[in-house]
Chain A
Amino acid sequence: MSDGIGARVERKEDKRFITGKGKYTDDIRMDNQAYAAFVRCPVAHAKINGIDSSAAMAMEGVIAVHTGPEMKADEIGDIITGWSITSKDGSPMQCGVWNPMVTTYGRYVGDAVAVVVAETQDIARAAAEVVELDYEELPAVAAADVALTDGAPQVHENVPGNLIFNWEIGDEAKTEAAMAGAHHVTELDITNNRLAPNPMEPRSAVATYDEAEDHYTLYTTSQNPHVARLVLSAFYNVAPEHKLRVIAPDVGGGFGSKIYIYPEELTCLWASMKTGRSVKWTSDRSEAFMTDAHGRDHVTKAKMGFDADGNIVAFHVDTIANIGAYVSLFATATPTYLYGTLWSGTYAMPAIYGTVRAVHTNTVPVDAYRGAGRPEATYMIERMMETASREMGIHPAELRRRNFVKEFPYQTEVILQYDSGDYFKMLDEGEKAADVAGFAARKADSAARGKLRGLGYSTFVEACGIAPSAAVGSLGAAVGLWESCEVRVNPVGTVEVLTGSHSHGQGHETTFAQLVSDRFGIPIDNVQIVHGDTDKVQMGMGTYGSRSGPVGMSAVVKALDKVEEKAKKIAAHTLEASEDDIVIENGEVKVAGTDKKMGWHEVGLAAYIAHNLPEGMEPGLKETAFYDPLNFSFPSGALICEVEVDPDTGVTDIVKFTAVDDFGTIINPNIVEGQVHGGVTQGIGQAMLEQVVYDETGQLITGSYMDYCMPRADDVPSFTLDHTCTPSPLNPLGVKGCGEAGAIGAPPAVINAITDAIGSNDLQMPATPLAVWTALQANKTAMAAE
C-alpha cells in the first residue's frame, strides 16, 4: 500500500495550516469572554507586603483583581514537581514551595503576583500596570555556582545553601582508581548555556466554568492534555477530573515548554469560577521569556582518562544544574536520570562517576527542553573526545572508533542498557556524506581567501520513550510513562484512532494513519486521528521525549493487533474458513489460497449489524490498548559540521552540515527528516546564537527577540542527511524516536568545528562573533607568549 510504513506521504493536516484554517487556542473565542493579565514581580527577589488594586478596580472595564492569598484561601494547590531525587547521602531532595500566585515572596522577575480580569486585553494589561505592589527588595542570585557559595542569598528558607540535591551516579572508587592510572587525562570546564524554548505560538488558555453543571472546560496550549487534567484536578484542586475537560487544539510547537501545567492556565480556570466569565490569557513573547520554563543551564568540570592507545579508562563529571526559583515538573529528572545515565555516550567506558548538584536561583524555573539532559551529556562527552584527540594527536574519528560500543545489547556503567546500533556504519556514512576526504583542499581554499575553516564531529546515543513505568517509578517518577490508543473501525470501514499522544507539529495525523493503512490496506484518507481532548480520548500521557514513535505508535500497533484478531474471527466465520487462513491486504479480507474474500468495509458492517457473529462474540469493532515499553529506545547518529570563520570579525558560517542518524524503522521519511532539520537548527541555535542572560541582580537581559537570537534562515545551511537502520528489538515497529536527535547531536559538532578552525579549545556556547573573536585574540596572545 503506497500510504503505508516508509512512504513519503504528504501530511493530512497541512491543508488547514496552509490556508489559515488551523485552530489554535488564541483563535478560540467564547461567549462572555473576559481577558486576564498578570501583575508580576518586578525584581528577582522581594517580600510582598501589600497589593493595592484600588486604582485598577476603578478603571472602566475591569472585572476583578485576584491575588495569591485568595487562591490559597480557596485551597488551590501549589505547583508540583513530578520526580523525587535522593541525594548521595540518602537524604530526600529539598525544594521550595511554588505558590501559583505569590503569597509572600516573589522569587524571580515575572513571578505571578496578581491577576486582573477585564473586558478587553488592552484594559487588563493597562490595569495590571496600576496594581501597586508594596514590596521590599531582597538580595538575589542568578548564577547557580554563585548560589552555592557561602553567604549567597537564600532563595527559599527551607533549602539551606540553595542546594536541592547532590546526586551521584556510577562507581566513585573504581573511577578514581582508573583515572589515577590513566596515561592521559583531558580536563575541560564546560558551560551549557541557558535557553528559552520559544515555540512560535505563545502559551494561551481559555477557561470556562459552567455553574449549572459545576463543570470546567480549558482550552490550552498543552503537549499532554490528560496529564494537565490530572494535575489540575488531583494536585491543584480546581475540580475533580470528571468535572474538568482539557482540550489542546492545534498547538504551535512545544519543545518541552508546553508539558508543564503553569500558574497562568491554573489561574484562568480558578478566575473563571470567581468571575463567572470565560477567562482568556494569551502570553506575548516578552511574557514568554519570563514565564515559560527555560532549558539547560549547567556548569561542569569534566575529566576523561585514556590509556596509551587512546582507550577511555575513566570519566568523571561534576555538574551544577540551575533549577531556577522553583522546581518545575520534570526539572529534577532532566539533570539526573536523563543526563547522568547518558554519560557513556557511544563509547565503551569501563568506569564512570559523577555528581550533580541542583540549585535554586532567582530565575525562571528550568525544565526539560528538546533533548532534556541528553544534549548536556552529549555536548560534554563530544567536546571531551575532540579535545582529547587534539591533545593526543589522534584523528577525532579514529579516537571515536577506538572507543565505540561494538556489541549490543550493551550495558553501560550508568544504568542504561543500549538496545541496538552500528556506530561504525553511521560514522563511515557520515564521513562519506560530509566529504571529509576533500576537507584539506577546502581548508586551503578558505585560507587563500583569508578565512579559517574547521571540521567538527559529534556522535551521540540518546534514550527515547522514557520507560518502563515500574522502572521510572523506582527512580522517583510520580507517574507511569505508558501510552494508550483506541482504534475504532466504523460500520463503513473507515477508522478512527484515538491516541493519548499529542501532535504539535510532529505530523501524527499522517504517520499514525500510515500505520493503519499499512495494516489494513486502506488509504490514509479513510483514517482519522483524534487527539488532544480529554472528553474524546481515553487517558494518555502526551508527547515529549521523542516518545510518540516508540511508545505512542506501539500502543497503536497493539490496538491494531486486537482489531485485526477480531476482524479475522468475523471474516473466518462469515467466509466459513479457518481464522489462521485469513489475510488482510489492500482493503480486502481473504482466505489464503482461495478466491473467497470480503471487503474491509464488509467486515466493519458485519461487526455492527451483528446478525451473524461467532457465538459469544460481542458486536462492534473497537479495541483499546495501553502500551508500557520494555525499555528506552536508543537512537544514535553521527553529525559532522564544517565552518568558515572570518578572523577579522569572528563571524562564523556553517558551510556544510551532515547528519547520519539511526532511528530504527522510519514510518514517513519526510517527517523524520523535518524533525532532524528542526532539531539540528535548534542545536545550531544553542551553539552559536541563543542564550538567556540575567544580570547579577537577576534582571532578565534577553527579554525579547531584540536580544535573544533565534536562528533565521540565513544562519543555517541546507542539510545533508542520511540514515542507517538497526531496528529497536524492544518495540513492535522497531522505531527509536527522532524528535530530539538534532538538538542533542548538533551543538558539539558546531563547537568542535569552530575550535578546529580557530585552533583553540577555549570556547563556550554560544559562539557569537564576539566569543569567537575573543577566543582568537586570546589564542594569538598565548601563541605570542610561547
Chain B
Amino acid sequence: MTNVSMTVNGKSVSCDVSETTLLSEFLREDLRLTGTHVGCDTSQCGACVVHVDGKAIKSCTALAVSLNGSDLTTVEGVGSASNLHPMQAAFKKHHGLQCGFCTPGMIMAGIDMVERYHAAGQELTAEAIRHELEGNICRCTGYHNIVKAIEEAAGTMAGQKQAAE
C-alpha cells in the first residue's frame, strides 16, 4: 500500500491504495465517485474518461499512484444538477444519451475536445467531432445526437470564454 494524494473536483483527497490500483478503481471504490464507468478492458470504450491536469485520459489505463499530486476532474465535478455545465445541458437538450452508461466519458471527452480546438484556434466541425470520438463507444444513440450536443456546447463554451475575456 502506498499513499496517494490528489485534488479531485477541487477537493484534496488522500488515500492508501495498492500500487497497482487503477485510477478508475481509485475513483469508484476508494472515493466512491461512481460516475466514472468501466465498459471494457482494452482501453477502447472511453466510459472512464476523466481530466488529469487539464487533459482527458482513460482512467482505466492509468495507475492512481502514478498521478500522485495531480489535479483531477470527473463528471461529478464539471457541473451539478442545478448548475449544469454547457456540455451536460447540451446532451440533455439534444437527447445525446439513452442508457447513460457511456455518457460521463462522452461528456468529459466532449469538453476536452472543445477546449483543445479552442486553444489551437481550430474549428470543431461535425466531422472533427466524429473523428475526435474515436475513443468513445456508445451502443445506444448512434452518435447522431451526441455530435449535435457537442457542436452546440462548443458554441456555448466559446461564448462563455469570450464573455469572460
User: Could you list which residues of chain A lie within 8 angstroms of chain B, going by C-beta atoms?
Assistant: 10-11, 13-24, 26-27, 29, 122, 198-202, 250-253, 255, 284-286, 504-507, 670-671, 673-674, 676-682, 704-706, 710-714, 716, 718-719, 742
Q: When the two chains form their complex, are residues B129 and A253 in contact, meaning their CB atoms are under 8 A apart? A: no
Note all chain B residues with C-beta closer than 8 A to A285: 39-42, 45
Q: When the two chains form their complex, are residues A252 and B143 in contact, meaning their CB atoms are under 8 A apart? A: no
CA distance A507 to B99 in the complex (A): 8
CA distance A18 to B45 in the complex (A): 17
Q: B146 at interface (Cβ–Cβ under 8 A)?
A: yes
**Which A residue sits closest to B146, measured CB to CB?**
A713
Note all chain A residues with C-beta closer than 8 A to B118: none
**Interface 0/1 of B107-139, CB less than 8 Å to A:** 100000000000000000010011101101111
27 sample A-B contacts, Cβ–Cβ < 8 Å, listed by A number: A14-B100, A17-B100, A18-B91, A18-B100, A19-B84, A19-B88, A20-B34, A20-B36, A22-B101, A24-B34, A122-B18, A200-B45, A200-B140, A201-B101, A250-B100, A251-B99, A285-B39, A286-B41, A674-B98, A677-B144, A704-B40, A705-B45, A712-B143, A713-B134, A713-B136, A713-B146, A714-B133
Known contacts A201-B101, A718-B144; is A20 also within 8 Å of B139 by CB? no
Of the candidates A23, A26, A27, A677, the one whose C-beta lies within 8 Å of that of B142 is A677
Q: When the two chains form their complex, are residues A201 and B39 in contact, meaning their CB atoms are under 8 A apart? A: yes
Note all chain B residues with C-beta closer than 8 A to A673: 95
Note all chain A residues with C-beta closer than 8 A to B55: none
Q: When the two chains form their complex, are residues B44 and A506 in contact, meaning their CB atoms are under 8 A apart? A: no
Q: When the two chains form their complex, are residues A705 and B42 in contact, meaning their CB atoms are under 8 A apart? A: yes
Chain A min CB distance to B147 (Å) = 7
Known contacts A678-B139, A712-B134, A718-B144; is A252 also within 8 Å of B129 by CB? no
Q: B103 at interface (Cβ–Cβ under 8 A)?
A: yes
Known contacts A285-B40, A674-B98, A677-B145; is A20 also within 8 Å of B76 by CB? yes
Q: When the two chains form their complex, are residues A712 and B133 in contact, meaning their CB atoms are under 8 A apart? A: yes
Residue of B34, B100, B107 ringed by the most chain A CB atoms within 10 A: B100
Of the candidates A19, A27, A710, A719, the one whose C-beta lies within 8 Å of that of B79 is A19
Note all chain A residues with C-beta closer than 8 A to B134: 712-714
Note all chain A residues with C-beta closer than 8 A to B101: 22, 24, 199-201, 252-253
CA distance A22 to B33 in the complex (A): 11
Those 7 A-B pairs whose CB atoms lie nearest each other, nearest first: A20-B35, A252-B101, A17-B100, A505-B99, A677-B142, A681-B142, A505-B98
**Which A residue sits closest to B34, measured CB to CB?**
A27
**Which of B86-102 touch A at CB < 8 Å?**
88, 91-93, 95, 97-102
Q: B58 at interface (Cβ–Cβ under 8 A)?
A: no
Q: When the two chains form their complex, are residues A716 and B35 in contact, meaning their CB atoms are under 8 A apart? A: no
A-B contact sample (5 more), CB < 8 A, given A122-B18, A670-B95, A710-B137: A200-B47, A284-B41, A678-B141, A705-B137, A712-B133
**Interface 0/1 of B1-45, CB less than 8 Å to A:** 000000000000000001000000000100011111111111011
Q: When the two chains form their complex, are residues A252 and B100 in contact, meaning their CB atoms are under 8 A apart? A: yes
Q: When the two chains form their complex, are residues A705 and B139 in contact, meaning their CB atoms are under 8 A apart? A: no
CA distance A748 to B40 in the complex (A): 30
Of the candidates B41, B104, B130, B146, the one whose C-beta lies within 8 Å of that of A20 is B104
**Which B residue sits closest to A506, measured CB to CB?**
B98
CA distance A22 to B141 in the complex (A): 18
Note all chain A residues with C-beta closer than 8 A to B162: none
Q: When the two chains form their complex, are residues A24 and B91 in contact, meaning their CB atoms are under 8 A apart? A: no
Known contacts A505-B99, A713-B146, A714-B131; is A20 also within 8 Å of B42 by CB? no
**Which B residue sits closest to A681, measured CB to CB?**
B142
Q: B75 at interface (Cβ–Cβ under 8 A)?
A: yes
Q: B81 at interface (Cβ–Cβ under 8 A)?
A: yes
CA distance A678 to B98 in the complex (A): 9
Q: When the two chains form their complex, are residues B47 and A677 in contact, meaning their CB atoms are under 8 A apart? A: no
Q: When the two chains form their complex, are residues A17 and B137 in contact, meaning their CB atoms are under 8 A apart? A: no
CA distance A132 to B44 in the complex (A): 32
**Which A residue sits closest to B148, measured CB to CB?**
A718
Note all chain A residues with C-beta closer than 8 A to B76: 19-21
CA distance A660 to B79 in the complex (A): 37
